[in-house]
Amino acid sequence: MTTYNKPVLTTAQHIAQWKKRGLAVPDMARAEHYLNVVSYYRLSAYTFPFQKGNPDHQFNQGACFDDILDLYVFDRELRLLILDAIERIEVAFRAGMTNVMAQHHGTHAYIDKAIFDTRYNHNWLINQLKQKCAEQNSEVFIAHYRNKYKNPKLPPIWMVMEILTFREVSVLFTNLRLKEDKQAIAQYWGMPDTVLKSWFRALSDLRNVCAHHARTWNREIGSRPRLPKKPPARWPDLTKALADPKIDMKRRLYCLSTLVKTMHFSARL
């Protein structure tokens, strides 16, 4: 293990380094502007397809700064499309959880520890909700409930489902103890609950990558979704081995995009 000793470079020095490695930079001022507002490190991840793959990071002949910038812009637009698609799934998922839990177990279903798997940290959930519903919470509907009702102190399930994160809701679904609860929620999506819980986990990972403006193109993303034993009609072969054995197809955007499209179709989103 060595000590990190790379020097700090200015924007102009970073661009000069790229040019020395063979990258064409027709407009120096334009390149400096984008490195200043995007950062060298963020853009550098998009340079690899235009490099020869040697340890010196030499660029292919004809590679241009605009190639890198175009790929970055493509990735940004891709993230916005993914967020739009996942938003509909997430909202429908919250609605399904609300409807089933309220109808099966009442307005404050989540307070009942017995409806969850014994391995689930129910105390964590209650403490998390107490923090989210504290005085400083900015949500108007939470403040209204707190000011009007004294018992129970925590709000009903339909409010709770709006203040938990997508990941927290997916964990809640995974840890429901009763099969009839999980099946009632999964039925809406036309998938077994054992499959669906891994899909929500994987899509919450993808959503977080996009929401934090991280690179989405050409990367592995979080959890591996479980594939159904009987895939829907016209599904691509997501089990086929790729040329590079190091690439995990289930963690790639192509696989997750297939799940998104399937869920949109089954739920008519």
C-alpha closest to that of 75 among 55, 36, 49: 49
**Residue 29 pLDDT more than 80?**
yes
Question: Between the ranges 32-41, 145-154, 226-235, where is the mean pLDDT highest?
Answer: 32-41
Res 137 pLDDT > 80? no
Mean pLDDT for 98-121 is 97
**pLDDT exceeding 90 applies to what percent of the chain?**
80
pLDDT digits (tens, 9 = 90+) for 161-215: 999 999 999 999 999 999 999 999 999 999 999 999 999 999 999 999 999 999 9
pLDDT score of 249 more than 80:
yes
| Residue that the structure tokens 């809701």 belong to | 169
Spatial CA neighbour of 122 closest among 182, 177, 198, 197: 177
Helix count (H) and strand count (E) of the chain? 11, 0
Q: What mean pLDDT is predicted for residues 6-34?
A: 96
Name the strand (E) or helix (H) holding 65: helix 65-105
Neighbours of 80 (CB within 10 A): 10
pTM for this predicted structure? 0.91
**pLDDT bucket at 142, cuts 50 / 70 / 90:** very high
Provide the pLDDT for residue 19. 97
- Of residues 202 and 136, the one with the higher pLDDT is 202
